[in-house]
Structure 1
Amino acid sequence: MVSMEIILVSMETTSETTAPVSDLETHLGYCLRRVSNAVSGNFARALQAKRTSVAEWVLLRQLYDRRQATPGELADALTMTRGAVSKILDKVEAKSWIRRRVKPEDNRVQLLSLTAAGRRIVPELAKIADRNDDQFFACLDSDERQSLGRLLGKLATCHQIRDVPIE
């Protein structure tokens, strides 16, 4: 009886290992993740020279286009929790890149804006982001870059992806 169990277990193991399995490199999600990790990793390392992170850059960039915003508005724009945004705000405030003030009509609401130093750092960080993209995607011609952007946009729209990629 024991030998019969061993044979059955052996047969199950053999049939499981011989089933066809697609190559990892044929999975587009895997390929996208590898490319994303490389692009993001290079960008994160480049930002370290400016004492900042990708999350801080994204928050500062969002605030750059606005005169002011509340933490809740930034959390919604970044699709992050208010707690996560609060931690990032503490870091950029410690660097004197943002200013917090109380909304005059409602002292329960904080208004955030970039300081002069914050307004100066965002274009510097944007140049790093642009340079990172230029270096990484240099192997693609203009049409290929546009096609890639269009296809990624189509996937994001199709799957209703709103999340801002942060680290």
Structure 2
Amino acid sequence: MELNHLITSKFREIKSVLSAYLTQILPAYGISPIMMYTLEYLRKHPDSIAVDIANEFGLTRGAVTQLLDKLEEQNLVVRKPHPNSRRSLSLQVTDQGNELVNAILDAYNKKIEKLFANYSADELASLKQLLEKLPL
């Protein structure tokens, strides 16, 4: 049981470091973490509506409206009539939004890759194999 505790502690530490990396990178791109998370969510869930964002991130309707207004002002997201509901607006990431997310993820991945600079090819292969077994 002690080994499991050490492993879970290490995973929490990794999560903290990765979150800090993202927080360090985002100011150069002019967006906040919640804006980035929203863009990533919308890329994975096209045609989502505002309530989906509220439910996913535990935000109020007002907070979601302000968030979407900021994303729309920066031409990162567009609101369009929803194909199945006249009362809702579909949210879509723009080409500019996709380019921004790709640039951020590229910088983020490069920062993360520095964690593995001292690993051998065999160690990286073992780590990859173990991580692939995680039920994510």
TM-score normalized by the length of structure 1 = 0.60
Indicate the residue corresponding to 1:102 in structure 2.
81
SS of aligned partner of 1:99? strand
Q: For residue 66 of structure 1, report the CA deviation from its aligned partner.
A: 5.2
Indicate the residue corresponding to 2:128 in structure 1.
146
1:83 aligns with 2:60: yes
Partner Cα distance (2:15, 2:84) in 1: 44
Unaligned runs of 5+ in 1: 1-21, 157-167
* Equivalent residue pairs, number: 128
Q: Which has the larger radius of gyration?
A: 1
- Alpha-carbon deviations, 1:18-54, whole Å to 9, x = none? xxxx9xxx64333322222112202210122111233
SS of aligned partner of 2:23? helix
Indicate the residue corresponding to 1:58 in structure 2.
37
Q: For residue 67 of structure 1, report the CA deviation from its aligned partner.
A: 4.8
Q: Which amino acid is the alignment partner of residue 149 of structure 1?
A: L
Structure 1 residues 28 and 94, CA gap change in structure 2 (3 angstroms)? same
Q: Is the Cα–Cα contact under 8 Å of residues 63 and 69 in structure 1 kept in the other structure?
A: yes
Q: For residue 98 of structure 1, report the CA deviation from its aligned partner.
A: 0.6
1:33 aligns with 2:15: no
Unaligned runs of 5+ in 2: none
SS of aligned partner of 1:49? helix
Q: Which amino acid is the alignment partner of residue 37 of structure 1?
A: S
Partner Cα distance (2:78, 2:84) in 1: 18
Identity rate, percent: 17
Q: Is the Cα–Cα contact under 8 Å of residues 75 and 94 in structure 2 kept in the other structure?
A: yes
